Amino acid sequence: MTSPPPGPEAAPLLASRIVELERERERLLTIIDILQELGGTLHFVDILQTIARRLGQTFGLDRSSIFLAERGGRTARLVASYEDPSIRNMVVDLARYPEIERAMRTGETVFIADATVDPSLKHVKGALARRKAKSITVVPITYRGVAIGCIFLRTFKDGEALSEGDIKFTQIVASLTAKALRNAHRYETLVKRSKSPAAAAAPPGAELQRAALISYLQRLLNAFAERDQSALDQMLPDASAAELQRLVGVTMTVLAEEAKG
């Protein structure tokens, strides 16, 4: 027995589902594009500009920006902007951006459905009206439970509003951003260390010279120990020998930790 065809009332639900599936497909493609672009660079400025641009393009936003936190919590740095890619390191007073301050202080996403009527944004109401802005979404970028920055999204009044799925997608992007920033920080730290005066002062072949000296000393001690081991064992009491072995172990542990940097 075959099922009857869906009635006319099912058509709007089916169309809505198709639209949502298409948006989900676009989000997944955007994630793939972001991952591919992040794989091509370890410079954090390029990473953040890539993410701001991709989010702005995907959602058709009035503004898509990334801020990084500064010590003290009173200011932040605007380091990437979809609408003006030339902005790379602008200090902003968070007193003028209460929504950003709140997101980075609490570590929670802030959503303002209509920025033009929100009481906390009355000081920029005219600018928002001129830009024909609508909603604002601020997603914190967190690392080990601490907000190190945020993604700021602002939609047009006549544009499509961000859905719950869009916000969850942005939260995923924020998580990827935190990991990418961590990797970039490690890379740039290694580059700085390699260019430090101490590293530059090491003459060519210094590592080989050190290896040769260590090998020589090791062979000399081994030869001495093999010749007089029995005499040494008789001279040292058991307690002293055990203490020397303990000190050797401590020394090797310290050297291993130093080698890790």
Q: What share of the chain is helix, strand, coil (3-state, %, to 5)?
A: 60, 15, 20
Q: Please give the model's pTM, rounded to 2 decimal places.
A: 0.65
Name the residue ranges covered by the structural domains of the chain.
14-194, 208-260
Contacts of 38 (CB under 8 A, 6+ apart): 47, 50, 176, 180
User: Per residue in 174-212, pLDDT tens?
Assistant: 998 888 888 777 766 766 776 666 555 556 566 666 676
**Percent over 70 (pLDDT), the chain:** 66
**Listed residue (208, 209, 228, 230) closest to 220, CA to CA:** 228
**Listed residue (141, 147, 134) closest to 59, CA to CA:** 134
> Is the confidence at residue 142, as pLDDT, over 80?
yes
Under DSSP, the state recorded for 241 is H
The pLDDT, as a whole number, for residue 119 is 93
The pLDDT, as a whole number, for residue 28 is 77
State the architecture of 14-194 in CATH terms. Answer: 2-Layer Sandwich (3.30)
- CA–CA separation, 95 vs 93, rounded Å? 5
Mean pLDDT of the chain: 79
Q: What is the mean pLDDT of residues 43-71?
A: 89
